[in-house]
Chains A and B, each alone.
Chain A
């Protein structure tokens, strides 16, 4: 049984990882690794691995946080307006929380697209033995 516990009890039962972002950390960074001399080398795999890593705590990160504080300040000043603004702010925040992970996924997708030459959707596919 798989669940995705969402805040607020909105339990949209999402089985398995919910997409590329959840997959990247796991299968590019974990799991058994073959001996280099046994392995047949593949085009682009090393590049994928590097792309999937996200650098943390750089000056860029600091500046981004500062900008987020700055935006926060503005939204606080306007907090007199009830209702509507609160909603807007929330949806804005949702956007922001879509961060580097998805970005890494996008990058990966770009890379994948540039290699395959066609747009592919990250569609879920049924695997063997799955009853739909």
Chain B
């Protein structure tokens, strides 16, 4: 806390250039859009040949990463992703100056970025997120697995410490069963959207009750078809999970995380 006060008093002389993402050269940036940081810098374009980097100035002496900063980063990129291809940078990319953006990022990686943008033309990312409804799948598991049902009876009403081993054993069975379910449902979802997506990337679960969690690269004219499939499956599976479709997003999962490190 003391450090923070000192930060404020120091007034933050050092600034850097925060980079959100890379877009084609023919886009215009509306003046006045607020970027990350507090106070936020104004979002602007740094151009190099036919590439545009979306950037804003940030105070290097102030920590970045408030919830607003994260949401700003994503909304700025996703807001464009429906209309133009976007190469998103991971949160927290800061370079020393505009010159550094052209000379150290856009210049050396020009071919790579230009061809990636070309491949993303007319496409956007969508994320499908399913979360199991806990009581429903637990009943499913107990009904299918006699050993789990027996362990459930043993711990019921018993002293948690005295039945710790049984609890761990039961929990492990449940966890494995959920994992198997997740794989089966992810496969089923993949089969259902086949032909409607250009590419897919399964994300590692971020929660133990994650059901389906995957990103899809989708042609703009097939987005409606994907939406229909998700709608249909979410009805079909509504007793077991909540299924959501998020997008269009910038193609976070399809840019190759090490592309800029080459």
Chain B residues with CB under 8 Å of A48's CB are 65, 91-92
Is A81 an interface position by the 8 A CB rule? Answer: no
A44 interface neighbour in B65, B138, B252, Cβ under 8 Å: B65
Please determine whether A66 and B139 come into contact, CB atoms closer than 8 angstroms: no
Please determine whether B95 and A27 come into contact, CB atoms closer than 8 angstroms: no
Chain A residues with CB under 8 Å of B234's CB are 5-7
Is B147 an interface position by the 8 A CB rule? Answer: no
Q: Nearest chain B CB to A112's CB is how many angstroms away?
A: 4
Chain B residues with CB under 8 Å of A33's CB are 89-90, 93, 257-258, 260-261
Q: Nearest chain B CB to A17's CB is how many angstroms away?
A: 5
Is B167 an interface position by the 8 A CB rule? Answer: yes
A-side interface residues, number (CB < 8 Å): 83
Please determine whether B257 and A32 come into contact, CB atoms closer than 8 angstroms: yes
Q: Nearest chain B CB to A116's CB is how many angstroms away?
A: 5
In the bound complex, CA of A87 to CA of B92 (Å) = 44
In the bound complex, CA of A74 to CA of B13 (Å) = 61
Please determine whether A39 and B94 come into contact, CB atoms closer than 8 angstroms: yes
Q: Which residue of A lies closest to B238 (CB)?
A: A7
In the bound complex, CA of A87 to CA of B255 (Å) = 44
Q: Nearest chain B CB to A35's CB is how many angstroms away?
A: 5
Given A54-B207, A101-B207, CB of A125 within 8 Å of CB of B66: no
Given A27-B88, A68-B134, A127-B33, CB of A40 within 8 Å of CB of B168: no
Besides A7-B234, A35-B261, 13 more A-B contacts (Cβ < 8 Å) are A2-B247, A16-B79, A30-B215, A32-B21, A39-B95, A42-B64, A45-B64, A48-B91, A56-B207, A62-B175, A63-B167, A120-B67, A130-B79
6 A-B contacts (beta carbon < 8 Å): A30-B253, A32-B256, A57-B208, A66-B155, A122-B71, A127-B72
